[in-house]
Amino acid sequence: MCGIIGIIAKGMVAPGLLEGLRRLEYRGYDSAGIATLVDGRIECRRAEGKLANLARRLDHQPVQGVIGIGHTRWATHGLPTETNAHPIATSRVALVHNGIIENFQALRRELEGLSYTFRTDTDTEAVAILATHFLELGLSPKDAVARTLSRLEGAFALAFLFAGEHDLLIGARRGSPLAIGYGDGEMFLGSDAL
């Protein structure tokens, strides 16, 4: 079972994302990753295996940012590799996902027909590319997510991070848990109340 976390804060979020993922380890996982915004661009760090591998990657390739998402993945679609690890990102959106998108193959075929290229074997990538498609049509992030959700079949929890949007995380759920919390100058979302 995957675990997801999102943080918006006044300070750097990478340490908090990693700590949140540690608290979700009990759910089981085969890979992990985080994404933050750096100068408006999405920066991802992912690793196969244990969180210690991701922590080492972050020691060697740190990321800044006051907004970010994180994920521990238990593979359901695609092998447990770094390529298939979440977050899944395009140049416009990064996404973490818990659950199963039952119609992802049909969505993938539709998007490939529109000349989008897929790099992973995950159902999550179809969601990220679909949201990107709606952004490219001129929809706002909120409207792009709403349109994307209307096309999805299955049970899921999702967290979206958008390039250029330093104060916006969008969480959505259908049949899977997603908790939202707030603190002094910070907001959180996660698979569990952390």
Mean pLDDT of all residues in 113-129:
96
Region 114-122 average pLDDT:
95
Q: How far is CA 23 from CA 5, 14, 73, 157, 186, in A?
A: 10, 14, 14, 18, 18
Binned at pLDDT 50, 70 and 90, residue 97 comes out as: very high
pTM comes to 0.95
β-bridge partners, 173: 157
Q: What is the pLDDT of residues 62-84, one digit of tens each?
A: 999 999 999 998 777 777 788 88
Class of domain 3-190: alpha beta
Separation of alpha carbons 59 and 113, rounded Å: 40
Query: In percent, how much of the chain has pLDDT > 90?
Result: 86
Question: How many residues make up the chain in this entry?
Answer: 194
Does the pLDDT of residue 46 top 80, yes or no?
yes
Above pLDDT 70, what percent of the chain? Answer: 98
Residues 51-59, mean pLDDT to the nearest whole number: 96
User: What is the model's pLDDT at position 78?
Assistant: 72
Task: Report domain extents, the chain.
Answer: 3-190
Taking the C-alpha atoms of residue 120 and residue 108, their distance in angstroms, rounded to an integer, is 11
Interatomic CA distance for residues 149 and 20, integer angstroms: 26
Per-residue confidence (pLDDT) for residue 132, from 0 to 100: 99
**pLDDT score of 82:** 84
Q: Mean pLDDT over residues 163-177, rounded?
A: 96
Rounded-to-integer distance, Cα 121 and Cα 123, Å: 7
Alpha-carbon span 30 to 183, nearest angstrom: 30
User: Beta-strand (E) ranges in the chain?
Assistant: 3-8, 31-38, 41-48, 67-73, 88-89, 93-101, 154-162, 169-174, 179-183, 186-190
| Cβ–Cβ < 8 Å for 75, 139 | no
pLDDT value of residue 194? 64
Helix (H) or strand (E) holding 51: helix 51-60
Considering the chain, what is the average pLDDT of its residues?
94
* Res 1 pLDDT > 80: no
